[in-house]
């Protein structure tokens, strides 16, 4: 039988008056035209706008604001002068207290809708000063109107918005971005041309240590050669006394992935060092380290409390990066075992254990879902499992392993509430109960939210 086609009451290119009533999980405004959902980026609940439809699908359309008839009372004037064009901050227009309330609702909503969970979500922990919190920025470098630009991608495109200042970045990163841009211009080092896959410098990745006020700089280049390399190092080290490492990473592929596999230390120390709580961490250029160190301490303290360790437990730290969470818990555990796919991160984790005088932690390279059964075969059954997966969440095979050995406690740290809800739903089916879900705002002005969750076996 032929399905009745749903009537689409809006036409691409036409404008409509739309009252915004909510936000999607991606932070776009939602309004209705003849009961048909229209998503409007940058619109907030309470806005009444004239929206021009740019695309239509069977069940929804997307429109851009042409004119605003009435402003939402959640709306603020963005502090950043590039907010209109830059695609980095989806919520730059929303008052911070409203951002927090929305993130809280978003977590509650997905837990119910996707995970079928009625768990209590604790009040989100926001930042006292929600700016200057990022310790890492990946600036694309390119040519616009024959001028070298460094900045962020424009909304919905790969055009670079020339902006060497971002209020979310630590001030040292902004300072370094300005110096890097000027040095590349002065030395006439060619930026990458994405269209023709020509040119040299694709990205300038800048990392900073909040505790030491130092900088690591990584030039991602298409070519093995970095022209005027020595002069570049001379200029940068003279202008940026905070620099402790300069790397070149070679990425000759036609790809959106930033890093290639080969990194060369051009100058300085191999690691950037930063601190969380009392622990010191060595970070190599491609290793994951949480971008907001202030809220990371909050998150790790929650994980520690949730784990409720007595000193007798074996803890698995899966998706461990450079071993941060496992090492943070190690003094309260009998043994910590970390698993991570990126070999450099595992090397960092082992070094970090030594750096902090921790001798009860071991780290393994591999996929958590593949190594977990092997750890069991070795007799290393966990009492507590901590998982902190990427946005796609945990592999179902890993959740099956956790269920099969009836691990008493699972601490789930998540940067994506939807996959968190899916995975918690699976664990609930297998006999776990959600004890607490604690959202933490690691990424003010953006649509992202982090959560720490404790599940116990019933």
| Positions in the binding site for ligand SAM (CB under 6 A) | 288-290, 319-321, 324-325, 339-342, 345, 367-369, 388-390, 395, 415
At closest approach, how far in Å is the CB of 246 from ligand SAM?
A: 23
Using the minimum distance from each CB to ligand SAM, give the nearer residue, 117 or 368: 368
Q: Which residues of 123-152 are buried (b: 16+ CB within 10 A; e: fewer)?
A: ebbbbeebbbbbbbbebbbbbeeeebbbbb
- Render 383-415 in DSSP notation, one character per residue: SEEEE---TT---HHHHHHHHHTT-SEEEEEES
Q: If you search the block for the tokens 């939210």, which residue do you land on?
A: 449
Select from 352, 280, 368, 394 the least CA-distant residue to 316: 368
Q: Which two tokens stand for residue 440?
A: 């933490």
- Residue (232 or 327) nearer to ligand SAM, CB: 327
State how far the alpha carbon of 198 is from the alpha carbons of 10, 180, 195, in Å. 42, 20, 8
Reported as type and span, the H/E element at residue 100 is helix 96-113
Task: Retrieve residue 353's tokens.
Answer: 């254990």
Pick from 208, 206, 209, 210: which is nearest to 164 by CA? 206
Which of 152/300 has CB closer to ligand SAM?
A: 300
State whether residue 129 is helix, strand or coil: coil
Question: Which of residues 90 and 287 has its CB atom nearest to ligand SAM in the complex?
Answer: 287
Q: What share of the chain is helix, strand, coil (3-state, %, to 5)?
A: 25, 35, 40
Q: Minimum CB separation from ligand SAM for residue 277, in Å?
A: 13
Between 192 and 288, whose beta carbon lies closer to ligand SAM? 288
Shortest approach of ligand SAM to residue 218 CB, angstroms? 17
415 is catalytic: yes
Catalytic choice (89, 166, 320, 415): 415
- Closest-by-Cβ residue to ligand SAM is 321
Q: Give whichever of 139 and 289 is closer to ligand SAM, judged by the CB atom.
A: 289
Minimum CB–partner distance for residue 317 and ligand SAM (Å):
7
Nearest approach, Cβ of residue 364 and ligand SAM (Å): 9
User: Cα 248 from chain centroid?
Assistant: 23
Q: What span, in angstroms and rounded, lies between the C-alpha atoms of 114 and 192? A: 42
Q: Strands of 145-298 (E only): list them.
A: 147-153, 160-162, 201-209, 214-221, 243-250, 262-268, 272-276, 279-283
Name the minimum Å distance from CB 324 to ligand SAM: 5
The residues annotated as belonging to the active site are 415
């Amino acid at each position: 039988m032929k399905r009745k086609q749903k009537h689409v009451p809006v036409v691409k290119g036409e404008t409509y008056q739309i009252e915004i009533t909510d936000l999607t999980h991606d932070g776009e405004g939602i309004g209705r035209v003849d009961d048909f959902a229209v998503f409007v980026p940058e619109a907030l609940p309470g806005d009444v706008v004239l929206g021009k439809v740019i695309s239509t699908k069977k069940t929804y359309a997307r429109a851009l604001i042409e004119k605003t008839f009435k402003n939402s009372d959640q709306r603020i004037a963005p502090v950043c002068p590039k907010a209109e064009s830059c695609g980095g901050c989806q919520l730059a227009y929303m008052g911070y207290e409203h951002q927090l309330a929305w993130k809280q609702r978003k977590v509650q909503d997905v837990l119910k809708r996707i995970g079928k969970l009625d768990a209590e979500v604790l009040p989100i922990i926001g930042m006292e000063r929600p700016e200057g919190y990022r310790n890492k920025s990946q600036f694309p470098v390119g040519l616009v109107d024959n001028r070298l630009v460094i900045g962020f991608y424009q909304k919905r495109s790969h055009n670079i918005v020339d902006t060497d200042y971002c209020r979310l970045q630590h001030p040292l990163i902004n300072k370094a971005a300005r110096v890097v841009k000027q040095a590349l211009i002065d030395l006439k080092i060619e930026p990458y041309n994405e269209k023709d896959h020509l040119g040299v410098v694709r990205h300038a990745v800048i990392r900073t240590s909040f505790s030491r006020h130092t900088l690591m700089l990584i030039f991602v280049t298409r070519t093995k050669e970095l022209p005027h390399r020595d002069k570049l190092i001379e200029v940068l080290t003279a202008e940026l006394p905070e620099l402790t490492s300069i790397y070149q990473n070679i990425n000759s592929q036609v790809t959106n992935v930033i890093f290639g596999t080969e990194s060369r230390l051009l100058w300085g120390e191999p690691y950037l060092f930063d601190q969380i709580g009392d622990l010191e961490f060595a970070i190599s250029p491609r290793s994951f380290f949480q971008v907001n160190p202030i809220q990371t301490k909050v998150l790790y303290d929650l994980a520690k409390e949730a784990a409720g360790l007595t000193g007798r437990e074996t803890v698995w730290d899966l998706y461990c990066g450079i071993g941060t969470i496992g090492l943070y818990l190690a003094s309260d555990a009998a043994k910590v075992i970390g698993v991570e796919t990126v070999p450099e991160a595992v090397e960092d984790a082992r070094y970090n254990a030594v750096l902090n005088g921790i001798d009860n932690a071991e780290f393994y390279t591999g996929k958590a879902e593949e190594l977990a059964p092997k750890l069991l075969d070795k007799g290393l059954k966990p009492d507590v499992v901590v998982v902190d997966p990427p946005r796609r969440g945990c592999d179902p095979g890993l959740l099956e392993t956790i269920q099969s050995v009836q691990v008493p406690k699972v601490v789930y740290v998540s940067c994506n509430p939807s996959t968190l809800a899916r995975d918690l739903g699976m664990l609930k089916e297998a006999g776990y109960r959600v004890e607490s879900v604690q959202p933490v705002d690691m990424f003010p002005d953006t649509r992202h939210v982090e959560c720490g969750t404790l599940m116990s076996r019933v």
